[in-house]
Amino acid sequence: MTVLTILTSDRRGRPAVLDTLDAEVRWAHADTLADALPGTDALLLWDFFSTALQDALPAADRLRWVHAASAGIDTLRFPGLLSARDVTVTNAHGIFDQAIAEYVLGVVFTFAKDSVRSLDLQRAHVWQRRETETVAGTRALVVGVGGIGRRIARLLRGLGVRVEGAGTRARAGDDDFAVIHDSVDLTDHVGGVDWVINAAPLTEETRGLFDRDVFAAMKPTARFVSIGRGESTVTGDLLDALHRGAIAGAGLDVVDPEPLPAGHPLWDAPHTLITAHLSGDTQGWNERLLDQFVDHWRRWRAGEPFPQTVDLQAGYVRG
């Protein structure tokens, strides 16, 4: 019989629908994963933040498919799995696109309409008329031109924003972006935009990508919005840019370190909005993850191809 092992945690629980699949289902926690992997054909990382697979992988003797119930797959890019040519990797591609794009729009409007200041004035019972900003006619650069980045671009364009992209190579003639720049040349392209949006996967190339040079090249009226991975931003450089007024603000759903310690200076950085890595967690997201995995499972059992697979070497699903 086909064996499916599911890595979960006390927080993630055991969705009952997974026990109804046509397989021997084994449930494991991080400390028992190695014991469950021998004989396992497919592995579902329901506890998608866990790094347990890296140490447990040598126990997998017939593993053919790994599915991560997350958009990011940086925790899977370790040597053992990168060299396992006979293991297919899939992820939650497409599940979080709309939710995260809506979150980015919310951050853009929060800054443009000075919403935090409005709440402060309301709490102080102060009636103060003032001007706010218009979003239409501004320019955005979305770094990361995968599914999430593209959905962000489409929603921003619907508001009248000119949207450019940055990815692994420069190109023109794209349906979603006015132009796509090479992210290696990021400092050459951030100076003319009002919104720099980090939607990049975490790879060797993007780790520490948003650094002192990038923030120095941005306009002092521009804002930085980050929903990719916290490690792609050099936190100390971002703090310095915010305190010096080199940029006008930051909306951060991902940070480094994460979770952000209570005493960390980023909490009190000027003009900064911080949320707890929740941009994709809209109502029903667990059910959508389950539906996607069950669909993938049925395709796999029927010998049909997956809708998409992860290129582990690149660090993302290729379009």
Catalytic residues: 229, 258, 277
Pull the structure tokens for residue 269. 């950085």
d(CA 193, CA 287): 37
Query: Does residue 210 contact residue 224 with C-beta atoms inside 8 Å?
Result: yes
Q: 23 vs 6, 59, 162, 300, CA distance in Å? A: 12, 20, 49, 12
Distance (Å, whole) CA 243 – CA 137: 27
Q: What value does the CA radius of gyration of the chain take, rounded to a whole number of Å?
A: 21
Nearest to 8 by CA among 77, 209, 195, 19: 19
Residues sharing a CB contact under 8 Å with residue 244, sequence separation 6 or more, in sequence order: none
Q: Rounded to whole angstroms, how far apart are CA atoms 113 and 131?
A: 9
Which pairs count as long-range contacts for 166-169, CB under 8 Å and 24+ apart, including other chains? Answer: 166/141, 166/142, 167/143, 168/205, 168/314
Measured distance CA(94)–CA(308) in Å, rounded: 10
Bridge partners (DSSP) listed for residue 42? 4, 65
DSSP 8-state class, residue 90: E
SS3 197: strand
Residue type, 197: I
d(CA 35, CA 12): 20
DSSP state of 304: P
Picking from 316, 215, 207, the residue whose alpha carbon sits closest to that of residue 254 is 207
